[in-house]
């Protein structure tokens, strides 16, 4: 109802409603307990690996003891395989491995069985996430879940030199202004948190110049949001030799796969580092990028299992499907949740010298839907390297129609020639295999997907073997 009122309201009412919501959010999120958790997490970031592991074991034990008593779905599962509280206290990791995976389907349709009935965990917020299916997944939250989530997010910011109170710009899938708007403003100012919300639904050639002018006037200290939005703006600035007259501490990206070509251009244009991170609106644990550019598994936010196609621990250089157990959401707990997102494992165990002892992964690939497969090459995790060295492509989308059938949609400019197209097709064949049948299509624009995200890779067929 509130969203409907916001969408139908004139602009000045939108500003009032957004700032009222921001004021209420600050009271809910940034409590005394939040600052206590933040202090705890900041210390753990630079703690010895044994300290972090001990903390993780304590949190896992607490979580399992709570769900066996207060969460119907897990209580039933524990009973079916004869797990007791004594088993949990003895070895929580062994107990965890014995539990079946929680599927996306069960997380969606059995949500009432997942609610924690502990009287200490009073419901304070209900959220919804549409995901790729379009139908909403309900997410119930108590105060500790909210406070810990934002403490972890702030810890990430602190670790890369960003302060919570820094002036910021955010790009997300929220509908900030009417999608039909053709004139600025395409943004709403959050005065309470010194933040500018910018729409991802209006990033057209005619509109981007207005975004750049507003950004230059607002002068943020950092920005966060969808990498595709930052890339579109960066490319426009670069192509048109526009000036960026503010200095950023960094840009943090989320919700989409961050491709190497996007990172390179964004960092060039905005003259700052891009820091990637992984979490989910359902409450999964965090993976965050450090000042050295390495992606750390935040073991104090949960337990990650990285599984290969045989459901065994993924080895060096393998694609690992994430199964997560989270310490972030206690009202709707996630235990061995098969979230269907994937990472690339490092070639060897690597410990970063940034000060954080938590383990490192090579890359966040994204959702299972981002994976391609061909009979010749097998699983293909990232396709952004196929664009390396090419010019004239403003926007591109790879769609796998069938196992060896691909449609590539492109928005190009005058720099795109027949020679560039031949090189592009050769790059695609090198990655997809000679048997792949690639069809090129040229359009004036490629629309955004759900929630304002740009889907660079879409697979419309099932994987022959589920990973």
Mean pLDDT on 67-83: 97
Nearest CA among 178, 156, 169 for reference residue 301: 156
Dist. CA 62–CA 320, nearest whole Å: 27
188: which strand partners?
A: 197
Instruction: Indicate if the pLDDT at residue 403 is higher than 80.
Output: yes
- On whether the CB atoms of residues 151 and 301 are closer than 8 A, the answer is no
CA pair distance 123, 146, nearest whole angstrom: 11
Q: Write out pLDDT tens, residues 17-61.
A: 999 999 999 999 999 999 999 999 999 999 999 999 999 999 999
What is the architecture, at CATH level 2, of domain 371-459? Answer: 2-Layer Sandwich (3.30)
Q: Measured between alpha carbons, how far is 216 from 185 in angstroms, rounded to an integer?
A: 14
The CA radius of gyration of the chain, in Å to the nearest whole number, is 23
Residue 135 has a pLDDT of: 46
Question: Residue 1 has what pLDDT?
Answer: 64
Which tens digit of pLDDT belongs to each residue from 315-342?
999 989 999 999 999 999 999 999 988 9
Q: Are 52 and 102 in contact, with CB atoms under 8 Å apart?
A: no
Average pLDDT of the chain?
90
What was the pLDDT predicted at 451?
60
Task: Give pLDDT, residue 258.
Answer: 87
Please choose, from the candidates 112, 116, 119, 231, the residue with its C-alpha nearest in 3D space to the C-alpha of residue 171.
Answer: 231
- Residue showing tokens 């790879």: 398
Sign of the Cα pseudo-torsion (287, 292, 293, 294, in order): negative
């Amino acid at each position: 109802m509130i969203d409907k009122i916001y969408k139908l309201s004139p602009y000045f009412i939108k500003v009032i409603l957004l700032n009222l919501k921001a004021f209420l959010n600050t009271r809910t999120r940034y409590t005394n307990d939040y600052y206590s958790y933040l202090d705890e997490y900041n210390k753990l970031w630079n703690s010895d690996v044994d300290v972090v592991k001990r903390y993780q074991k304590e949190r896992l034990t607490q979580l399992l003891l709570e769900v066996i008593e207060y969460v119907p779905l897990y209580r039933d599962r524990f009973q079916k395989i004869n797990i007791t509280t004594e088993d949990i206290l003895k070895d929580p990791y062994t107990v965890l491995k014995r539990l079946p995976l929680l599927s996306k389907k069960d997380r969606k349709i059995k949500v009432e069985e997942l609610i924690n009935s502990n009287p200490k965990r009073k419901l304070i917020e209900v959220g919804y996430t549409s995901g790729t299916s379009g139908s909403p997944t309900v997410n119930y939250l108590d105060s500790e879940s909210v406070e810990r989530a934002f403490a972890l997010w702030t810890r990430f910011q602190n670790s890369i030199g960003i302060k919570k109170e820094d002036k910021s710009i955010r790009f997300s899938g929220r509908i900030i202004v009417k999608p039909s708007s053709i004139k600025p403003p395409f943004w709403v100012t959050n005065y309470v948190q010194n933040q500018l919300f910018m729409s991802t639904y209006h990033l057209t050639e005619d509109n981007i110049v207005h975004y750049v002018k507003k950004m230059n006037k607002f002068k943020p200290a950092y920005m966060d949001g969808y990498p595709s939005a930052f890339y579109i703006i960066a490319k426009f600035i670069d192509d048109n030799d526009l000036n960026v007259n503010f200095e950023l501490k960094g840009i943090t990206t989320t919700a989409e796969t961050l491709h190497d070509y996007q990172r390179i251009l964004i960092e060039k244009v905005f003259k700052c580092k891009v820091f990637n991170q992984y979490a989910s609106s359902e409450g999964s644990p965090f993976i965050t990028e450090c000042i050295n550019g390495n992606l750390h598994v935040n073991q104090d936010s949960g337990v990650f299992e990285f599984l290969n196609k045989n459901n065994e621990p993924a080895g060096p250089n393998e694609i690992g499907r994430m199964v997560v157990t989270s310490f972030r959401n206690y009202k709707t707990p996630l235990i061995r949740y098969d979230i269907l997102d994937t990472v690339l494992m490092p070639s060897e165990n690597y410990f970063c010298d940034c000060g954080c002892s938590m383990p490192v992964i090579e890359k966040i690939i994204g959702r299972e839907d981002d994976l391609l497969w061909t009979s010749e090459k097998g699983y293909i995790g990232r396709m952004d390297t196929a664009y390396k060295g090419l010019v004239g492509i403003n926007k591109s989308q790879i769609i796998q129609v069938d196992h060896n059938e691909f449609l590539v949609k492109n928005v190009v400019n005058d720099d795109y020639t027949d020679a560039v197209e031949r090189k592009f097709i050769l790059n695609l064949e090198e990655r997809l295999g000679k048997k792949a049948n690639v069809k090129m299509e040229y359009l004036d624009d490629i629309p955004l997907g759900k929630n304002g995200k740009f889907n660079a890779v879409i697979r419309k067929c099932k994987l022959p073997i589920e990973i």
